[in-house]
């Protein structure tokens, strides 16, 4: 049973998360002041338009290799609940254990697409946020995997996404707030790491503050690159599963430091559902969404960015997490099973597992 | 030594949403919360000297929001005597998206006296220290401790009675 302080903090955070932003400030006074306010508002509009234009969603690059199905799909890597790693053949779901994780939980996996090199986040202990990010080289013939530590952090590495060229790794670090509940890792920063130079930059964090000055809890969920690596989309959960938005950054073109300055592609209100995970496909965003409509069902949705419209592809028995996209196929987790999703949104369970990376 | 003077508009952009959330947690009424926040910023606008120090300006607005919310609650209590109506019920939208446990806790919280509720919201939502809460509420740290402790006892009793 949760203690009262935690229940109280969670309840207040959940209620606060669904409070809409107030309307603009209405200051009555003198005419010359109203005019200067108008000028400020007009200038802000120009900045917003310029920022929006620079971050307009891009279509898939026509020469991209993604979309042309290869002769054989590369192997995916799957973790068990105990932190063991297994190579997964996405064709038939066959698994082959390549590493034993000594009980350290795997939080997330991302692959380069060659079926041999992967990155993963592992918890350091059962409690707390501390984790490591490791590079995993799999030898499929020998049935072994070698892990090399890339980053060790007091924060939790919960999301990873490798750019299509394999040179840039986007990752999310979740830490405790200075005065927040213990072991609640709900303050996210998104980082980018150039894997050739090792240069690490913080891409996005949340500058919003609660009235006392404490950082506002914000968690970045799913992340997905587009086909030419120009755009990264991600989900921001404001708090406690109450509302979320899918946002985008263009890491090569814009320097973004605050979630609030990233364009919203779609949010809970527009979708009528709570987005749980997202992948960018050539023609749409594939979204796993929870609590849709009056029946509070979970759906797999296709979001058309041009038409700004969602199409239901499938009813979900439970929420999908860790969706990963390659060669027109999606691997995702549903409960403790890996499911394969084809272009039309049909789901098929292919294997057991905990979190897949491709 | 203070930093550069800020504008009311800039402060509003950065803090109005957070303060509106604070007001909603105290009042459970979006419209009333927005009014309280607007009035607080208009109060700041009328005191340009308060804008010389951004921290002091924020502290001023925060206290104004607390005072405004308390004043509204007092008016609601007066109205209740005539209308037999408790503090406003949560909106249908907010109730729909909150988990059962969250609703229970928030319902219990609404039953607390205003000052006790303020102390809990500032501590467990805004993450403020006892000294910060005391400054915001305009009371001593001893009073904050008393309000918090009594509020937790009352909440525990209320939640147990529902089980």
Query: Are B38 and A28 a contacting pair, CB within 8 Å?
Result: no
Average pLDDT on A299-327 reads: 89
Judged by a CB distance cut-off of 8 A, whether residue A130 touches chain B is no
Position B67 confidence tier, pLDDT thresholds 50, 70, 90? confident
- What residue spans of A245-358 are helical by DSSP H? 268-271
> Is residue B106 within 8 Å of A11, Cβ to Cβ?
yes
For A215-253, the pLDDT digits (tens) are 777 788 899 999 999 999 999 887 655 678 999 988 877
Tokens standing for residue B47: 């005191």
* A72 pLDDT above the threshold of 80: no
Q: Which residue has the tokens 């987790």?
A: A333
Tell me which chain A residues have a C-beta less than 8 angstroms from the C-beta of B110: none
Cβ–Cβ under 8 Å, residues A289 and A275: yes
Q: Which of B41, B111, B112, B124 best tests the A interface by mutation, with the highest count of A CBs <10 A? A: B124
Q: What span, in angstroms and rounded, lies between the C-alpha atoms of A253 and B73? A: 50
Q: Which pLDDT value is given to residue B4?
A: 57
A295's CB contacts (< 8 A; 6+ apart) are none
The residues with which A326 forms a beta bridge, in sequence order, are A329
Confidence class for position B121, pLDDT limits 50, 70, 90 = very high
Instruction: Report how far residue A61's alpha carbon sits from residue A57's, in angstroms, rounded to the nearest whole number.
Output: 12
What is the nearest CA distance from A21 to chain B, expressed in angstroms?
5
- The pLDDT tens digits of the residues spanning A81-106 come to 788 999 999 888 888 899 987 778 89
* Contacts by residues A89-95 (CB-CB < 8 Å, ≥ 24 positions apart): A90/A329, A90/A331, A90/A340, A90/A350, A90/A358, A92/A350, A93/A338, A93/A350, A93/A351, A94/A351, A95/A351, A95/A352, A95/A353
State yes or no: pLDDT of B84 exceeds 50. Answer: no
Of A8, A21, A212, the CB nearest to B122: A212
ipTM above 0.85, yes or no: yes
Q: How far apart are CA A105 and CA A173, in angstroms?
A: 16
DSSP classification of residue A216: P
Binary contact (A214, B128; C-beta < 8 A) = yes
Name which of A300-304, B88-92, B155-159 the model is least confident about.
B88-92
Q: Which of B42, B65, B93 sits opposite A27 (nearest CB)?
A: B42
Partner residue facing A8 (CB), from B30, B98, B124: B124
Residue B155 confidence (pLDDT) above 70: yes
Q: Does A295 touch chain B (CB under 8 A)?
A: no
Residue B135 class from Cβ within 10 Å (0-12 exposed, 13-18 middle, 19+ buried)? middle
Strand A309-316 to A320-326 pairing: unpaired
| Main-chain phi, psi angles of B122, to 5 degrees | -70, -35
Are B41 and A25 within 8 A, CB to CB? yes
For residues A23 and A193, give the distance between their C-alpha atoms in angstroms, rounded to a whole number. 39
Residues 155-194 on A with a CB inside 8 Å of B are 177-180
Q: Are the beta carbons of A13 and B125 separated by less than 8 Å?
A: yes
For residue B108, the distance in angstroms to the closest alpha carbon of chain A comes to: 10
A99-115 residues labelled b (16+ CB within 10 A) or e (exposed): bebeebbbbbbbbbbeb
Would an 8 Å CB–CB cutoff place A264 in contact with chain B?
no
Query: Under an 8 A CB cutoff, do B102 and A209 touch?
Result: no
- Which of B15, B21, B159 comes nearest A19 by C-beta? B21
- Quick check: helix, strand or coil at residue A268? helix
């Amino acid at each position: 049973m949760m203690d009262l302080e935690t229940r109280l903090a969670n309840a207040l955070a959940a209620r606060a998360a669904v409070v809409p932003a107030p309307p603009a400030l209405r200051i009555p006074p003198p005419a010359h002041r109203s005019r200067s306010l108008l000028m400020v508002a007009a200038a802000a509009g120009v900045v917003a338009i310029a920022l929006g234009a620079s971050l307009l969603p891009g279509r898939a690059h026509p020469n991209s290799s993604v979309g042309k199905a290869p002769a054989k799909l590369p192997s995916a890597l799957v973790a068990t609940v105990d932190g063991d790693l297994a190579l997964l053949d996405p064709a038939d779901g066959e698994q082959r254990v390549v590493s034993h994780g000594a009980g350290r939980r795997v939080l997330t996996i991302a692959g380069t697409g060659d079926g041999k090199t992967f990155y993963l986040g592992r918890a350091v202990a059962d409690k707390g946020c501390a984790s490591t990010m490791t590079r995993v080289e799999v030898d499929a013939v020998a049935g072994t995997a070698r892990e090399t530590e890339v980053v060790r952090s007091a924060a939790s590495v919960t999301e990873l996404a490798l750019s299509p060229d394999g040179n840039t790794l986007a990752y999310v670090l979740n830490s405790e707030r200075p005065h927040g509940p213990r072991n609640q890792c709900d303050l996210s920063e998104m980082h980018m790491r150039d894997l050739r130079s090792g240069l690490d930059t913080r891409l996005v964090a949340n500058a919003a503050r609660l009235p006392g000055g404490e950082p506002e809890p914000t968690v970045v969920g799913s992340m997905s690159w587009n086909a030419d690596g120009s755009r990264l989309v991600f989900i921001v959960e404001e708090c406690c599963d109450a509302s979320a938005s899918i946002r985008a950054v263009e890491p090569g073109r814009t320097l973004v430091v605050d979630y609030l300055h990233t364009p919203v592609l779609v949010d809970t209100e527009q979708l009528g559902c709570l987005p749980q995970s997202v992948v960018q496909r050539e023609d749409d965003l594939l979204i796993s969404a929870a609590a849709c409509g009056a029946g509070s069902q979970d759906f797999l949705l296709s979001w058309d960015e041009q038409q700004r419209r969602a199409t239901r592809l499938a009813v979900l028995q439970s929420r999908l997490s860790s969706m990963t996209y390659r060669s027109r196929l999606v691997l995702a987790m549903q409960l403790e099973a890996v499911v394969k999703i084809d272009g039309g949104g049909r789901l098929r369970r292919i294997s057991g597992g905990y979190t897949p990376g491709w | 030594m203070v930093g550069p003077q800020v504008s009311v508009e800039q402060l509003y952009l950065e803090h109005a949403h957070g303060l509106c959330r604070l007001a909603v947690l105290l009042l459970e009424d979006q419209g009333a919360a927005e009014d309280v926040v607007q009035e607080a910023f208009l109060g700041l606008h009328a005191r340009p000297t308060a804008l010389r120090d951004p921290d002091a300006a924020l502290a001023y607005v925060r206290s104004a929001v607390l005072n405004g919310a308390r004043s509204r609650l007092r008016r609601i209590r007066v109205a209740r005597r005539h209308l037999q109506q408790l503090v406003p019920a949560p909106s249908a939208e907010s109730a729909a998206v909150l988990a059962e446990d969250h609703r229970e806790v928030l319902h219990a919280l609404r039953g607390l006296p205003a000052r006790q509720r303020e102390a809990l919201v500032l501590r467990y939502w805004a993450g403020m220290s006892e000294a910060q809460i005391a400054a915001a509420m305009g009371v001593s740290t001893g009073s904050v401790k008393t309000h918090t402790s009594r509020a937790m006892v009352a909440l525990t009793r209320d939640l147990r009675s529902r089980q």
